[in-house]
Structure 1
Amino acid sequence: MKKDQPLPGRRSMFRIAACLGAAAVGGLLVHERAETPGRAPDGAGPVAGPSAAAAPPKATSYRLRPMTAFAPPALRRAKPPVRKRPFLEVPDTGRAMVLTFDDGPDPRYTPDILAVLREHEVRAMFFVCGEMATHNRDLLREMAADGHAVGNHTWSHPLIPTLPPSRIRDQLGRTSEVIEKTLGEAPLWYRAPYGAWNRHSFEIGADLGMEPLGWTVDTLDWMRPGTSTIVRRVLRGAAPGVIVLSHDAGGNRSQSVSALRRYLPELLDEGYRITVPRR
């Protein structure tokens, strides 16, 4: 998570992850456009929380390209209610979309994202990494206070299929514990780093009371392609039920913030409702 590009020694991880994408399933209910607390953004950062100038904690993992273009291998039949694939969309909800942000919270970028969402009175989902969350608990509280859904994105952003079940449980369990101790309730949703799921992750996530959520539109903002490119990808991919993947940490996310400022009002003007899923 310190760098946007993978180290040469991690090329083998791409080969492992390449077959571990996700396929769509249906059946989610959603909240409509949120009513958030009546506080106006100051345009320069959050109302509460750490200083935007604070340096983020060191992270132990690196950004790899999310693996969404590949079908997963066949999985052994799991007992209900364990799922075999993540949700990739929110169907049958009219003109509703979900905005998600991964890898944070980061005191440099998360406050500005929260301010934009607050300005437009919409809710989003933040899939946080435990090693970031534990050092930025005020930002977790701010997310919850504004009505956003806080999800589990593991502790240190590892490639899940390379881990034994005990390590997967540790990655998910420690992060859920930080969220629960900070917000008073455990997360209901989780997302596998890089979109690389396996049977153990579904079973352990279910055992911890969480549902798996993937995405429909990948902005590839972690590659820093330019603000206009990110905006174009979101607007071209906009459709009922779409889940948009962006990032508020893991590198320089100034383009992600600028893009959100541009595409969010356009989505609302086009009649989309920005929602968060309900279980």
Structure 2
Amino acid sequence: MLRGRRSVLRIVACLGAAATAGLLVSERAQTPGRPAAPRTVGGPPAAAAPPAKASVYRLQPMTAYTPPRFRRAVPPVRRRPFLRMSGAGRTMVLTFDDGPDPRYTPGILSTLREYDVRAMFFVCGEMATDNRDLLREMADAGHVVGNHTWSHPLIPKLPPSRIREELGRTSEVIEKTLGTPPLWYRAPFGAWNRHSFEIGAELGMEPLAWTVDSRDWTEPGTRTIVRRVLDGAGPGVVVLSHDAGGDRSQSVAALRDYLPELLGAGYRITVPRR
């Protein structure tokens, strides 16, 4: 059933995939002499696994690893973002970018709640500041709230001071609303640079990219989004979707279709432990 994964956006030539910290696969940190771990090998097709009992689907954090809350940008600073989980069995991560949006985020939260699974929401500060109730709803349900910058700019075109403002303002909104700062961040368009890694590290965040892009932002139709997610499913996969930034009704409907399919194929949908 699986047809291989879509390559990351054309501007993301920097994305790599070597294991680190036994959590998600990424390029090794900039620590001299630190050996790189081998790549994660994909498991058998999802259809080959017998359906599991419902109890298997409950939240099972992939690791006890927690990125430090605050630190200076000294080694190890990531050179490339995490792309996928490593050594976590038949688990997957669902991520949603650009929200929260009161038109679509509640529908996604409702479906996740129905199946008792958790996801990651990478929020934009300008959306979060006007929808703090949705931030609290995400956190109260056990979802991970990450940083997706303030206004969704193309990071490599910004000076370091602007990158710091984009990430810092968003982290501040999240911390003031939830009581803790975000531990993960994602660059808009998947476009990273050295400054973004360094500033993210200063703010105590780890960079997370994705393995499968649903391309739901193109509004290709619910069935197309479902097919892309199911075709790309596999152990350790991180799926990119959106809950804002346009008409996301197809994304909401698609989640209702592919989530039970993934669970029925034996996958556990999980998140990093905070």
Q: TM-score range by the shorter chain?
A: 0.7 to 0.9
Post-superposition offset of 1:20: 4.3
- 1:278 is paired with a residue of what secondary structure? coil
| Equivalent residue for 2:132, pick from 134, 137, 142 | 137
What is the rounded CA distance, in whole Å, between the counterparts of 1:193 and 1:22 in structure 2?
14
Q: Does 1:26 align with 2:51?
A: no
Pairing 1:180-199 to 2, within 5 Å after superposition: 180-199=175-194
Q: In percent, how many aligned pairs have the same letter?
A: 76
Post-superposition offset of 1:26: 2.0
- Amino acid in structure 2 at the alignment position of 1:18: I
- 2:78 is paired with a residue of what secondary structure? coil
What is the rounded CA distance, in whole Å, between the counterparts of 2:12 and 2:123 in structure 1?
24
| Equivalent residue for 1:224, pick from 214, 219, 223 | 219
Post-superposition offset of 1:33: 3.2
| Equivalent residue for 1:153, pick from 123, 148, 151 | 148
Contact kept in structure 2, 1:230 and 1:259, CA below 8 Å:
yes
- Amino acid in structure 1 at the alignment position of 2:253: S
In the other structure, the counterpart of 2:115 is 120
What is the rounded CA distance, in whole Å, between the counterparts of 2:139 and 2:191 in structure 1?
27
What is the rounded CA distance, in whole Å, between the counterparts of 1:19 and 1:110 in structure 2?
27
What is the rounded CA distance, in whole Å, between the counterparts of 2:156 and 2:248 in structure 1?
27
- Amino acid in structure 2 at the alignment position of 1:201: S
What is the rounded CA distance, in whole Å, between the counterparts of 1:130 and 1:23 in structure 2?
27
What is the rounded CA distance, in whole Å, between the counterparts of 2:195 and 2:58 in structure 1?
34
How many residues are paired up? 221
What is the rounded CA distance, in whole Å, between the counterparts of 1:19 and 1:101 in structure 2?
18
Pairing 1:252-271 to 2, within 5 Å after superposition: 252-271=247-266
Pairing 1:46-195 to 2, within 5 Å after superposition: 79-195=74-190
Q: Does 1:238 align with 2:263?
A: no
Contact kept in structure 1, 2:111 and 2:255, CA below 8 Å:
yes
Contact kept in structure 2, 1:152 and 1:175, CA below 8 Å:
yes
- Amino acid in structure 2 at the alignment position of 1:121: D
Post-superposition offset of 1:177: 0.2
Contact kept in structure 1, 2:168 and 2:203, CA below 8 Å:
yes
Contact kept in structure 2, 1:124 and 1:274, CA below 8 Å:
yes
Post-superposition offset of 1:21: 4.5
Q: Does 1:251 align with 2:246?
A: yes
Provide TM-score, normalisation by structure 1. 0.76
Task: Spell out, residue by residue over 1:223-261, the C-alpha distance to the aligned partner (whole angstroms, 9 max, x if none).
Answer: 000100000000010000000000000000000000000
Contact kept in structure 1, 2:14 and 2:80, CA below 8 Å:
no
Task: Spell out, residue by residue over 1:116-162, the C-alpha distance to the aligned partner (whole angstroms, 9 max, x if none).
Answer: 00000000000000000000000000000000000000000000000
Task: Spell out, residue by residue over 1:58-103, the C-alpha distance to the aligned partner (whole angstroms, 9 max, x if none).
Answer: xxxxxxxxxxxxxxxxxxxx84221000000001100000000000
Contact kept in structure 1, 2:118 and 2:269, CA below 8 Å:
yes
In the other structure, the counterpart of 2:46 is none
Distance 1:241 1:19, change over 3 A: closer
